[in-house]
Chain A
């Protein structure tokens, strides 16, 4: 049997798909095209490398600190001055023993605090991003798929959530929420703090994604492949997870890479406002908050967490941009 010998040009009659889109999707799958574009994108590659390094440093902080013989909690009175407690030496006390200097007042090692702090910062931002994304995707799909009153109720709920003065509500809500978290059986202290932070950061982020996903679902539902599935007797569940969800990975991925840096920044802001983990535990935010007080006398201390935070946020944002470009079906082939 001769197979697919159709020597066809593009369909000419009754064109349904716009020419540009069609040309673009012929030949390779979107995923392959996106992957190819990303591999050629130097900014994306550098961003990924930086992020991998940051995650590596955070994950292996105990090992690395062990190797360097530093730890985040030990006081070192010998490396700070007796009056005022400023680090002895240039660059905030940088030395072989303390590669990024020491903390004014206590002499604790800044590198160790930074690495351990990364763990908490990334844990908070990552968990909040995960909850935000899952909630946003589920609500968005349900709203877009159900239409009718469910869609309307969810839509109003999203509007309502977006209308809150976020920062104000978070500041007011956090202590109460933490009490509830502790009452629910979570150990009081940093565990309850971190969980509280993750919750307050998740509560207000999901409606953006939910709206985005809802719009995508509305568009996808009009495509005939959904109707084809219905005509085969497919359940709603199958349509959601087998037909729609695989088409949403692009926007979900892009949104996630943009949400994480926002959450990192939000954690830092909250730390500055005093809503963060309890000392002596550090996060990037709490280190920034402490270092600001010493900015005039020890600017290097301030620069260390700031550099880390900016590197992470910038890399995530640039990667998000690259992903968006790579996944954009309307962009020409590069």
Chain B
């Protein structure tokens, strides 16, 4: 499926939220460095999983890529356009091609609009007149995502969380975009529904060839859907690799820690493996540690980790890591290098 040129190319993306002093003067006294220099590429029709703990900057990164938030710095190239330097007004037609699915199915749908007008909004806003009319197209979309097309006149409050997320998906695919940023699209849903919605997203991707940046806070959710996975920590990418490589041969200590939290279906291996419990909290993104940002929680940290920030470098084809002392199959190797059976979501 993948072609040679990426649909999305992000380089050194930064998003700082300024912290101002209270009171009248409102001096700029610092920044929340929510996203601090991430680079990534997404090929057409491919899924890049973006994983990290809550608060590490995934949502901010996703929004900044689409310029829903104004990035502080960096380069964004989407479908050959220099998104970073485009005027907001010129960006409007490009928004047909890049969409977003939101985390919260309750706040992402306007409670005062019917499903029909929510899913029809893309046509309305972009001035697109679909063949056969907007209503017919909306109903086809509803059917495609597994909703009863007769319900187009209902309000969001009449739908469950999973159904609402389907409405959000229908809205996002209405104009057949080339890229969708999915910001934890299933994490607000009941576990029993997560798999259904994930399968729907996958089917739609196969059908329309849409590329996904798929954000999640744990590795199990993205395992099935991703082609490549990038692990984020405190606004930076720690490791990125093709899916199988990341799950079977991770090299960054943080990836190891995240993986050890993923339950393994095989009870023998589940019992045999070592769990890595991360101690302490995520440091504040307004005052990140000097050197490696993971050094406050890393069990391998040495002097160098506190003075010098590791750069993201390629250690083998497509496998990048930002660590001075990457794992080489030592710790937890038994669990990690075993073939990846028992993913949480069965293969089609």
Neighbouring A residues of B155 by C-beta, 8 Å: 29
Chain A residues within an 8 Å CB radius of B95: 231-233
A227 within 8 A of B: yes
Q: In the complex the two chains form, what is the Cα distance from A242 to B217 in whole Å?
A: 33
Using A4-B147, A13-B189 as known contacts, say yes or no to A230 and B161 having CB atoms under 8 A apart. Answer: no
A11 and B146 contacting across the interface, CB-CB below 8 Å: no
Verify A233–B171 contact, CB threshold 8 A.
Answer: no
Query: Is residue B21 within 8 Å, beta carbon to beta carbon, of the partner chain?
Result: no
Q: Mark A219-263, 1 if CB is under 8 A from B, else 0.
A: 000011101111111110010001100110000000000000000
Q: In the complex, are the beta carbons of A230 and B68 less than 8 A apart?
A: yes
A1-49 contacts to B, CB under 8 A, are: 1-4, 6-17, 22, 25-30
Instruction: Name A232's contact: one of B105, B125, B146, B191 (CB within 8 Å).
Output: B125
| Contact (Cβ within 8 A) A224 B102 | yes
B158 lies within 8 A of chain A by Cβ: yes
Q: Is A3 touching B148 in the complex (CB atoms < 8 A)?
A: yes
Contact of A233 (CB < 8 Å), options: B108, B112, B125, B147:
B125
Report if A8-B92 is in contact (Cβ < 8 Å); known contacts: A22-B106, A27-B157, A233-B125: no
Q: Are B193 and A8 in contact (CB under 8 A)?
A: yes
Question: Could you tell me if A1 and B146 are in contact, using CB atoms closer than 8 angstroms?
Answer: yes
Asked if A234 meets B125 with Cβ closer than 8 Å, knowing A13-B190, A14-B187, A225-B107, the reply is yes
Query: Residue B126 at the A interface, CB < 8 A?
Result: yes
Q: Do the beta carbons of A224 and B96 come within 8 Å of each other?
A: no
CB of B143 closer than 8 Å to a CB of A = yes
Given contacts A6-B162, A227-B102, contact A16 B125 (CB under 8 A): no
User: B155: nearest residue on chain A (CB-CB)?
Assistant: A29
- When chains A and B are docked, how far (Å) is the Cα of A34 from the Cα of B258? 47
Q: Mark A287-311, 1 if CB is under 8 A from B, else 0.
A: 0000000000000000000000000
| Cα separation A1 to B166 with both chains bound (whole Å) | 15
Contact between chains at A8 and B126 (CB < 8 Å): no
Assess the B112–A16 pair: CB atoms within 8 A: no
A243–B103 alpha-carbon span in the complex (Å): 19
B122 touches A4 (CB 8 A): no
Q: A15, A17, A229, A232: which has the most chain B beta carbons within 10 Å? A: A232
Instruction: Return the contact of B68 from the options A25, A231, A243 (Cβ within 8 A).
Output: A231
Is the Cβ of A233 less than 8 Å from the Cβ of B96? yes
Residues A225 and B146 in contact in the complex (CB < 8 Å), given A8-B193, A16-B103: no
- The answer to whether A11 touches B102 (Cβ under 8 A) is no
Given A17-B106, A233-B96, A233-B126: A9 and B187 interface contact (C-beta under 8 Å)? no
Contact A233 B93 (CB under 8 A): yes
Q: Does B113 contact A (CB under 8 A)?
A: yes
Question: Which among A15, A29, A233 has the highest number of chain B CB atoms within 10 Å?
Answer: A233
Bound complex: CA A137 to CA B192 (Å): 44
Q: Is the CB of B121 within 8 A of A13?
A: no
Interface set, chain B 121-155, CB cutoff 8 A to A? 121-122, 125-126, 143, 146-148, 155
A230 to B102, alpha carbons, bound, how many Å? Answer: 13
CB-CB under 8 A from B148, the residues of chain A are 3-4
Known pairs A17-B107, A224-B107, A233-B93; A3 contacts B112 (CB<8 A): no
With a CB–CB cut-off of 8 A, which chain A residues contact B92?
A: 233
Contact partner, A223, options B96, B107, B121, B166, Cβ 8 Å: B107
Q: Is B188 part of the binding interface, using a Cβ–Cβ cutoff of 8 Å? A: yes
A9, B188: Cβ atoms closer than 8 Å: no
Roughly how many angstroms separate A92 CA and B159 CA in the complex, as a whole number? 64
The reply on B99 being an interface residue by CB < 8 A is yes
**CB of B72 within 8 A of chain A?**
no
Q: Are A30 and B157 in contact (CB under 8 A)?
A: yes
Any A CB within 8 A of the CB of B109? yes
Instruction: Say whether B104 faces chain A, with CB atoms less than 8 Å apart.
Output: yes
Chain B residue contacts of A246, Cβ below 8 A: 110, 112-113
Instruction: Report the nearest A residue to B105, measured CB to CB.
Output: A11
The answer to whether A247 touches B125 (Cβ under 8 A) is: no
Chain B residue at minimal CB-CB distance from A243: B110
User: Chain B's nearest CB lies how many Å from the CB of A330?
Assistant: 15
- Given contacts A17-B107, A29-B155, whether A12 and B191 have CB atoms under 8 Å apart is yes
Q: Does B160 contact A (CB under 8 A)?
A: yes
Nearest CB of A to B115, in Å? 12
Residues of B near A7 (CB, < 8 A) are: 192
Give the residue name and chain of the B residue nearest to A231 (CB).
Answer: B100
In angstroms, Cα B113 to Cα A312, docked, is 35
In chain B, residues 75-126, which have Cβ atoms closer than 8 Å to a Cβ of chain A? Answer: 91-93, 95-96, 98-100, 102-113, 121-122, 125-126
The answer to whether A26 touches B190, judged by C-beta atoms less than 8 angstroms apart, is: no
Q: Contact check: which of B162, B188, B192, B196 meets A16 at CB < 8 Å?
A: B188
Which residues from B are CB-within-8-Å of A224? 102-104, 107-108
A243 surroundings in chain B (CB, below 8 A)? 110
Instruction: State whether B161 touches A8 (Cβ < 8 A).
Output: yes
Task: Enumerate chain B residues within 8 angstroms of A1, measured Cβ to Cβ.
Answer: 143, 146
Contacts of B36 in A (CB 8 A): none
Contact A25 B187 (CB under 8 A): no
Between A and B, 13 residue pairs with Cβ closer than 8 Å are A8-B160, A8-B189, A11-B188, A13-B187, A13-B188, A25-B111, A25-B157, A30-B111, A225-B110, A228-B100, A229-B125, A234-B125, A235-B125
**9 tightest A-B contacts by CB?**
A246-B112, A233-B95, A224-B108, A233-B92, A3-B148, A16-B104, A17-B106, A225-B110, A25-B157
Given contacts A227-B68, A227-B108, 17 further A-B contacts (CB under 8 A): A4-B148, A6-B160, A7-B192, A8-B192, A11-B189, A25-B111, A27-B158, A223-B107, A224-B103, A224-B108, A227-B100, A228-B108, A228-B109, A229-B125, A231-B68, A233-B96, A247-B110
